[in-house]
Amino acid sequence: MKFFNGRLLTVLPYLGMAAALGLSAWTFIQSDRYRQETDFLNQTFEIQWRAAQICERLIRVYGYLRIADQTGELDADIDRQMALVSVNVAQLENFPYLNCFFPDHAPELLGGIRLTLEQKIAPLVSARKNYAEAIADMAKLEQSICEISSPTVDHSATLQQTASIDIAASRNWFIFAIALGLGATFYLVIHQRYALANRRDQHMRSFTSLFAHTTRSRVTALRLFLEHSKPDTQPSSEMLEAARNAASELESITNSVLQIAYAPQDSNSVPLGRLLEDIVRERGGLVQIRIGSKANLHPVPSAPFGLVVNELIENGLVASSGVKNARVFVSATVKRHPFLPRAYLVLEVVDKGLGMPPAIAAKATNPFFTTRAGSHTGLGLTACSQMVSTLRGKLTINSAPGVGTTVVVRIPVASAAACFWQSFRKYGRTNEHSWGG
């Protein structure tokens, strides 16, 4: 679950960008489709208007002929109406998209209407006689114009139904998009809630493990001292000294742990370079540090990260105590993942000491396992590993007898560029530094 959530949250912004680009392309395609549909509607409107004009003019011509047949007087406006019919018919015949709306024989019907008007009805109108014959021809023209206008009416009804379906589909897509956005928002809220709870539990486990790891041996020593002490016998000076040392160490450990427990919630973050510089200053030339420019400016929590680095350096110095001119080398860089869009802060602490066998190195971070006996009051590798885990990082140990030990701390960088420029504006450091002898 942790792997899934981490990868999902990492990839989620890029999936969102891909979805946004896809929606943009889809919107562009839809815009072109809407333009084509608009042209199609304009063509339909033009054909319907022309067909309506032809019907209207034909009705007027038919009415004039009926009146003339009854009264013997023909209205002079009939010539203008017949000319308008011929013009509209000619316009319909010249439309390049005529075949998209009408059946294949539509051009023949339009040609027949025009020829009937020009060759049969027009001569009768000009002669002002045989109105009954002209009326019979007009009835045939009415049937032809109905065959032409019916497809446009049917096509218009189909377009209206299609538009209604498209509107309903668009409304459903809009509702789906809102539901998807709400689902993603609530998922992120729930995930953040559980992530904060898991992080708090991790802090509690790390704190408990730290305290138990550093106090168990001292408490055991005091318990053994009390069990072997007798009321009528004075304890030996060695036992008293060991008990005093254990009590003093417990007090020191408790004070150190309380500093961590009661640290302010908004603990200060400092550039890693400044933190390492302070640690090096306390140890003179025993530690050599090399840090890249981005890692130098990267802000880290001063309290936990300082404790971890201090403990690792101290372990390296103790392991190298029997080596001539022993030094501990610390390096820090910001590295990018070779495949995923993420970066890591990588800190390496290297010593040329005695080293550890693989079996010991594998157990070095186990709870209550220690590689150093005696009055060791530091965090220990177990507590260091737990504290690195609270920073969502990982601590690994590579060691070999006679070669030395390398401890690698790998912590994810939330936003390397943002942290770099934030530190640049605040501290103004950009160059690579190297301290130590």
327 and 430 housed in the same domain: yes
> Could you tell me which of 284, 282, 300, 312 has the C-alpha nearest to residue 382?
312
Which of 154, 175, 190 terminates a domain? The answer is 190
**CA nearest neighbour of 381 among 292, 297, 319:** 319
Token pair, residue 403, equals 């070669």
> What is the per-residue pLDDT across 347-378, written as a single tens digit (0 to 9) for each?
999 988 878 887 787 777 766 555 554 444 44
Domain residue limits at 148: 2-190
Q: What is the CATH number of the domain that holds 353?
A: 3.30.565.10
The domain boundary residue, chosen from 190, 220, 254? 190
The answer to whether residues 405 and 287 belong to one domain is: yes
Identify whether 364 is part of a domain: yes
Pick from 190, 209, 236: which residue ends a domain?
190
The answer on 164 and 288 residing in a single domain is no
Mean pLDDT, contiguous 10-residue spans, the chain (437 residues): 54 71 74 73 77 81 85 84 83 74 69 80 81 80 70 65 74 79 81 80 71 73 77 76 79 70 61 86 81 86 82 84 80 82 87 82 66 51 78 86 88 60 46 39
Structural domain includes residue 214: no
H/E stretch holding 294 reads helix 293-297
State residue 128's pLDDT score.
79
Residues 163 and 281 reside in one and the same domain = no
Looking at the fold, whether 135 and 31 belong to one and the same domain comes out as: yes
In this structure, are 276 and 182 located in the same domain?
A: no
Tens digits of per-residue pLDDT, 331-344?
999 888 777 777 88
419 in Cβ contact with 413 (< 8 Å): yes
Q: Is 231 a domain residue?
A: no
Q: Are residues 39 and 175 in the same domain?
A: yes
Q: Are residues 186 and 276 in the same domain?
A: no
Residue whose structure tokens are 């495949």: 339
Whether residue 278 sits in one domain with residue 159: no
Say if 221 falls within a structural domain: no
In a domain, 279, yes or no: yes
Q: Which structure tokens are listed for 64?
A: 């004039």
- What is the chain's length? 437
- The answer on 273 and 186 residing in a single domain is no
161-176 pLDDT per residue, tens: 777 777 777 777 778 7
Query: Does 202 reside within a domain?
Result: no
Q: Provide Rg for the chain, Cα atoms.
A: 46
At 348 the pLDDT is 92
What pLDDT is recorded for position 266?
47
CA–CA dist 272, 306 (Å, integer): 9
| 229 belongs to a structural domain | no
Task: Please tell me whether residues 286 and 386 are part of one structural domain.
Answer: yes
**DSSP 3-state of 75:** coil
pLDDT of 336 reads 83
pLDDT of the residue at 13: 67
Distance CA 159, CA 163 (A): 6
Whether 219 is covered by a domain: the verdict is no
Report the pLDDT value the prediction gives residue 435, as an integer from 0 to 100.
38
pLDDT, residue 1, reads 47
- Tokens 């403990």 found at: 311
Count of domains observed in the chain: 2
